């Protein structure tokens, strides 16, 4: 007899007479069902025991105050710009202090190509296009998307997700001086310089082995795991491989100088990429300034990941035996008030 058959026979013997109309499959663990069940198939008439267990999410103010910005990682503090990295140079401040800066230039573009709202797209965002190109450099769908709003052909299209999109309209020009000023903190993202296939010393700053006589492992990794147990190399182990060429964001860099005539901005420090690469500049996320400390009035479905769950009513020994595993329960969207 199979496992499902044995449990079915057990369920038949322990089911009360008042529940004889219920199918034994209604109380079987969901992992034994061949088909996916819903709430209706798990309920039996005149029985409070076989009803699906109700989960009440508990959200405390203390749990939300620990990571106030974790929910809004996909949101930007404001609309930004796209530019081209020109290189690095030395800048002398009025006090004589020498500051290394990265020069970012702006070609033709930075036009609003589309405004997305919650009613039409499910979220608020502003799509911006940058760097004018010839028509044949774009595909027909891209050309049709831009021609719908009467916009010139643009190479790069990126979105900036915002809390509100009021004041933005298609074919609107984003001006550098209106979005940023000297002294502001910005987040700069780009693609890092590709280094190709590199070893563990260059890629992860591993130490070298003994270089003197008698050693045969100078730049080797060393041990990458145990033997028979577990008998494999764990995923994510730091080993030689391709280095660089990934998207990276540097946070809270200072805007040192804005030159309106040359259409360049100087940002303190280094930014990802090599000269000629595309750079994305957005206002820095600062909790309490442009990112709210509280989430009052905001609705986030992923709050269920960090909430405490309480079982109501308490599980009995018989309920634990059948182990429903809550795989049929879908948490509703949570709205803070």
Nearest to 277 by CA among 306, 305, 307, 244: 244
10-residue averages of pLDDT along the chain (337 residues) = 52 43 44 43 46 47 44 71 96 93 93 92 92 93 92 93 90 92 94 96 94 90 91 94 95 94 94 95 84 50 37 48 45 49
- Spell out the long-range contacts of 131-138 with Cβ–Cβ below 8 A and sequence spacing 24 or more: 131/82, 131/84, 131/107, 131/155, 131/156, 131/278, 132/107, 132/108
Nearest to 105 by CA among 81, 129, 80, 78: 81
The predicted pLDDT at position 289 comes to 73
Count of H helices and E strands in the chain?
A: 6, 13
Alpha carbons 104 and 188: distance in angstroms, whole number: 11
The predicted pLDDT at position 292 comes to 67
Neighbour count for residue 23 (Cβ, 10 Å): 13
The predicted pLDDT at position 5 comes to 58
The predicted pLDDT at position 4 comes to 52
The predicted pLDDT at position 29 comes to 43
Nearest to 156 by CA among 272, 278, 245, 246: 278
The predicted pLDDT at position 164 comes to 87
First to last CA, the chain: 54
Asked whether 186 and 283 are in contact (CB, 8 A), the reply is yes
Nearest to 280 by CA among 160, 163, 184: 160
């Amino acid at each position: 007899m199979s496992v499902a058959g044995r449990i079915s026979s057990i369920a038949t013997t322990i089911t009360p007479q008042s529940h004889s109309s219920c199918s034994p499959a209604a109380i079987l663990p969901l992992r034994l069902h061949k088909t996916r069940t819903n709430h209706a198939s798990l309920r039996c008439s005149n029985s409070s025991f076989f009803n699906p267990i109700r989960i009440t999410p508990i959200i405390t103010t203390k749990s939300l105050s620990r990571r106030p910005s974790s929910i809004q990682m996909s949101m930007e503090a404001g609309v930004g710009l796209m530019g081209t990295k020109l290189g690095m140079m030395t800048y002398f401040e009025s006090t004589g202090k020498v500051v290394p800066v990265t020069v970012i230039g702006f070609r033709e573009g930075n036009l609003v190509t589309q405004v997305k709202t919650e009613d039409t797209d499910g979220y608020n965002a502003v799509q911006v296009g940058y760097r004018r190109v010839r028509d044949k450099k774009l595909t027909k769908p891209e050309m049709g998307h831009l021609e719908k709003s009467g916009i010139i052909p643009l190479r790069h299209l990126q979105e900036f997700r915002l809390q509100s999109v009021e004041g933005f309209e298609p074919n609107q020009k984003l001006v550098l001086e209106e979005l940023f000023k000297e002294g502001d903190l910005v987040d700069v993202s780009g693609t890092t310089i590709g280094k190709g296939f590199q070893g563990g010393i260059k890629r992860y700053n591993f130490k070298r082995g003994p270089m003197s006589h008698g050693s045969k492992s100078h730049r080797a990794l060393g041990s990458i795991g145990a033997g028979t147990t577990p008998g494999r190399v764990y995923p994510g182990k730091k080993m030689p491989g391709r280095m660089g060429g990934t998207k990276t964001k540097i946070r809270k860099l200072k805007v040192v100088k804005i030159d309106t005539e040359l259409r360049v901005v100087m940002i303190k420090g280094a930014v990802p990429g090599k000269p000629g690469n595309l750079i994305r500049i957005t206002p820095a996320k600062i909790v309490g300034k442009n990112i709210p400390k509280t989430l009052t009035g905001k609705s986030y479905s992923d709050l269920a990941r960090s909430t405490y769950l309480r079982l109501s009513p308490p599980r009995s020994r018989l309920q634990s035996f059948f182990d429903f595993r809550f795989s049929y329960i879908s948490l509703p969207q949570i709205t803070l008030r």
